[in-house]
Amino acid sequence: MKLIISKYLDLATEDEKNSLDRYVEKQGRDFYNKISKVHQNSTSASEGYLKAVLEQERAYVMDSDKLARVVNKIFKMLKSSNDDKYDERYDNFVDNYRSNILKERNLLAHAKTDGVHGFKIENQDGRIITYDSVKCNEIRGNINRYNNLFEETLHKWG
**pLDDT tens-digit profile of 2-22?**
888 888 888 889 999 899 889
Whole-model pTM: value is: 0.69
153-to-22, 26, 29, 74, 121 alpha-carbon distances in Å: 24, 26, 30, 12, 34
36-79 per-position pLDDT tens digit: 776 676 655 455 555 555 555 554 556 788 889 999 999 999 89
Residue 73 lies in domain: 2-156
CA atoms within 13 A on the CB side of 135: 16
Inter-residue contact 116 to 45 (CB < 8 Å)? no
Maximum Cα interatomic distance, the chain, rounded to a whole number of Å: 56
pLDDT value of residue 100: 94
- The tally of domains found in the chain comes to 1
CA atoms within 13 A on the CB side of 14: 0
